[in-house]
Structure 1
Amino acid sequence: MRKILIVGGGYAGFYTAKKLEKHLRRGEAEVTMVDPLPYMTYQPFLPEVAAGGIEPRHAVVPHRRHLKRTHVVTAKVTRVDHATKTAVITPSVGEPWTVEYDTLVLTAGAVSRTFPIPGVADEAIGLKNIEEAIAIRDRLTQNFVKASNLPAGPERDRLLTVVVVGGGFAGIEVLGELRSFASSLVGQYENLSFEDTHFHLIEAMGRIMPEVSLKTSHWVLKNLAERGDNVHLDTQLSSATGGVIQLSTGESFESDLIIWTAGVMANPVVRTTDLPIEERGRIRARADLRIVDENGEFVPEAWTAGDVAAVPDLTGGGVGGFCVPNAQHAVRQGKLLAKNLVAELRGESPREYIHKNAGAVAGIGLYHGVFQSGKISIKGFIAWLMHRGYHGLAIPMWERKARVFSNWIINFLFRRDLVGIPARDVPREAFETFASRPKA
């Protein structure tokens, strides 16, 4: 049987494996998928996870539960030598081993892209995985607990100040969701008020959310301002050392929660391969999702898709002529990639990927949303419902959809759960504190 190795189990990798299970005949190919995590994260839900709108486990799709005919390996791929068609797999425990394959599918996704700004690496937290969203929620709830025991002053202000860097969809959504979450938290503390909380968004460009029209982005700015948020446009973060935020405008304040959403880059695993990489660090690809070299010639038995790939946008709408790194493209590319793999296996011609952006929808806090498709723009409560409806149905697998919608129904009936569990970062602390030890 043909041995197909899928590197990465995110959107593109998961959908490639899932659709291969559907289209492959029994005994036609053996599929192995390798990813360091045992689940796919549905990233559009991360802002709601951070704000307590969705249970964290319901925003991920477990690989082994939903990939019945795929050999799932939870480990890292640390080397790919396509010349010899071998890959080195390194588990978290145990010795690395080498596997042989016939066909490679590189769908390793993207990671947060940062800049060498003092303090960012030490103080900030990203929003690319479920663990980060959980940590943001726990940090904010614990900061409210700490602040409630302090008198008004700089230390309390620091605890109740949230900074989001990056004015794209992820940044605006997490800012809006956390503002709604904080407004609910304030009601639980008699000595804290809405005015004690401070939310800042820092964006280097002169506008936010480039995926929507300028008019729509202005509405979002107005909405955020009415809810007490401070948006700093044409402003760069100069330093975050020790939690002291210094802006290019000269403004300075302190924050105990700094969230970085200012861009992504291809997973560095591509640098451990012998495959061609373009100037932005992505794998070079043709529109049919085959990997190509610098001369445009395809590399035999090598395919790619998703955020790690530089796939030409045949609609002409992509930045620099390539598909932008988002879930819309990753999901659809993964589905087509599976069909193309089967077609190539059966001696048929692969199809080119072409998808015109279906529009953009964002939730910016409870009952606030925005939708944009062409010249059509919808704002407010209706757009918020559209956001929930779209993403509630878009998360893979019906059992996941049911869990997400159940979360929303329960929150509507009983209000969202405001409890944080900050001690989950140090689960043995209580046990160690009181545990009996042998006498010296």
Structure 2
Amino acid sequence: MPKILIVGGGYAGFYTAWKLEKHLRKGEAEVTVVDPLPYMTYQPFLPEVAAGSIEARHSVVALRRHLSKTKVVAGKVTGISHADKTATITPSVGDPYQVRYDQIVVTAGAVSRTFPIPGIADNAIGLKTIEEAVAIRDRLTANFDKAALVPAGPERDRLLTVVVVGGGFAGIEVFAELRSYASALLKNYPELRFEDTHFHLVEAMGRIMPEVSLKTSEWVLKNLAERGAAVHLDTQVTGAIDGNIELSTGETIPSDLIIWTAGVMANPTVVRGGDLPVEERGRIRARADLRVGTAEAPLEGAWAAGDVAAVPDLSGGGVGGYCVPNAQHAVRQAKLLAKNLVAVLRGEEPKEYVHKNLGAVAGLGIGIGVFQSGKIAIKGLPAWFAHRGYHGLAMPSWERKFRVLWGWWNNFWLGRDIVNLSTVQNPRYVFEEFAARPRPAQPAVTPPAEPREQGKIADQPEKVDAEKAAAAGR
């Protein structure tokens, strides 16, 4: 039976395996997915998770629950030798080992791309994982608790200052959602005022959200300004030591929450650990039919899709001739990849990937959004409904759709949950504080030893006196 190895269980990896289960006949192939995490994260929901609008577990899809015919391995693929069709798997527990495959599908996704700016690696947090989104929400909520206890001044300002670096879709969405969340929190903190909260977004280019028209992006800037948020265009971060954001304009912004969304790069662990061809931007070179290789020479048995792959954009709308790294392309590429892989196994020809961008939709906080498709632009509440409608339907599996929609419905009537669970990172702190521990053993005290003869004499005082008298008589 042919062995299909899928590297990565994110968008493209999950959808590839999901659709392979549908298209493969029983016994036609054996499919294995390798990923260090047991779930797929629906990344468009991360800003809403950070703002408390979606429960974290509802925005992820359990691999083992929804991939019933696929073997799921918790680990990383740290090496690929396609010359002999073997891959090195480093499991979460145990020693690395090698497996053989007949077809490999590389869908390892992307990670945050940073620059060697002093302090960023130590103080900032990204927005690529569900854990990061939860940490952002808990940090901001915890900072409100702390700020309510200190008087107005530099320390309170630092706690209530949020800095987002990067003005693309991810940066603008999390920036606007957190602004909305902070405004909603204020009614529960009578000690704090709206003027105590400070939101800054730093963008190196002269505009935000290049995915939409300039007119739409200007509307977003105006909306953010009306909500008390500051956007610094044509500005770069030059330092972030001890949480002090230094800008190229000379301004310094002390902050306790720095969120980095300034770009992504293909997963370097997989790209650098194999012998598959890589293009100049560090992505695996793929053909329009999603096989690895060039237009003239496909690499037999190797496939790639999603953010880790440089897939030609035949619609003509891509950047540099390639599909941009977003969920829209990753999902559609994965669906076609599954069909093409099955076709190749059956001796048929694969089809080329062609998809014209349907547009862009973004949520900017409760009741506010933007939608852009060609020259059509919708703003405000209608766009917000379009945002939630699109992503609610795009969430894979009816089980997850229902959980997300049910959460939104509850929040409509009950409001967002503002409980801070940051202490979950150290769940044993109460137990450790009050747990009874055994007393340390006391060292044994040994009396000093006396010379044997001297001890005997001390035990016979009468004999000592008689010997002294006899000596005097002599």
TM-score by length of 1: 0.99
Distance 1:263 1:128 in 2: 11
Q: How far did 1:400 drift?
A: 0.2
Q: How far did 1:296 drift?
A: 4.2
- In the other structure, the counterpart of 1:276 is 277
Distance 1:171 1:165 in 2: 7
Distance 1:52 1:148 in 2: 20
Distance 1:149 1:220 in 2: 34
- In the other structure, the counterpart of 2:446 is none
Within 5 Å, which residues of 2 pair with 1:195-214?
Answer: 195-214=195-214
Distance 1:336 1:162 in 2: 41
Does 2:129 match 1:129?
Answer: yes
SS at match of 2:145: helix
1:218-260: CA deviation from partner (whole Å, max 9, x where unpaired): 0000000000000000000010110001100111120000000
Does 2:286 match 1:285?
Answer: yes
- The residue type equivalent to 2:108 in the other structure is A
- In the other structure, the counterpart of 2:120 is 120
Distance 1:203 1:290 in 2: 36
Distance 1:189 1:409 in 2: 25
Q: Which is higher, the Rg of structure 1 or of structure 2?
A: 2
Q: How far did 1:95 drift?
A: 1.4
Within 5 Å, which residues of 2 pair with 1:21-420?
Answer: 21-268=21-268, 269-292=270-293, 296-420=296-420
Please say which of residues 71-80 and 355-364 is displaced more in the overlay: 71-80
Q: How far did 1:279 drift?
A: 0.7
SS at match of 1:302: strand
Q: Which runs of 5+ in 2 are unaligned?
A: 441-474
SS at match of 1:211: coil
Distance 1:239 1:339 in 2: 48
Following TM superposition, the consecutive aligned residue runs of length 4 or more in structure 1 with deviations greater than 6 angstroms are none
- In the other structure, the counterpart of 2:20 is 20
Distance 2:376 2:253 in 1: 39
1:104-163: CA deviation from partner (whole Å, max 9, x where unpaired): 110100000001111000000000000000000000000000000000110110000000
Distance 1:97 1:140 in 2: 42
SS at match of 2:320: helix
Distance 2:154 2:389 in 1: 42
Q: How far did 1:435 drift?
A: 1.2
- The residue type equivalent to 2:326 in the other structure is N
Please say which of residues 84-93 and 368-377 is displaced more in the overlay: 84-93
Identity of aligned residues (%): 74
Q: How far did 1:290 drift?
A: 0.5
1:72-112: CA deviation from partner (whole Å, max 9, x where unpaired): 11111111111111111111221112111001110100000
Distance 2:246 2:237 in 1: 6
- The residue type equivalent to 1:100 in the other structure is R
Distance 1:212 1:296 in 2: 35
Distance 2:173 2:284 in 1: 29
SS at match of 2:52: coil
Distance 1:424 1:296 in 2: 53
SS at match of 1:246: strand
- The residue type equivalent to 2:74 in the other structure is T
Distance 1:151 1:416 in 2: 27
Distance 1:432 1:92 in 2: 27
Distance 2:436 2:124 in 1: 37
Q: How far did 1:270 drift?
A: 1.1
- The residue type equivalent to 1:273 in the other structure is G
- The residue type equivalent to 1:376 in the other structure is I
Distance 2:298 2:123 in 1: 43
Distance 1:122 1:53 in 2: 28
Q: Which runs of 5+ in 1 are unaligned?
A: none
Distance 1:427 1:314 in 2: 51
Distance 2:332 2:253 in 1: 43
Distance 2:315 2:93 in 1: 45
Distance 1:190 1:71 in 2: 53
TM-score by length of 2: 0.92
Q: How far did 1:191 drift?
A: 1.1
Distance 1:413 1:297 in 2: 58
Question: How many residue pairs are counted as aligned between the two chains?
Answer: 439
1:362-415: CA deviation from partner (whole Å, max 9, x where unpaired): 001111100000000000000000000000110100010000000000000111
Distance 2:218 2:253 in 1: 26
Distance 1:19 1:53 in 2: 30
Distance 1:412 1:104 in 2: 45
Q: How far did 1:436 drift?
A: 1.2
Q: How far did 1:168 drift?
A: 0.4
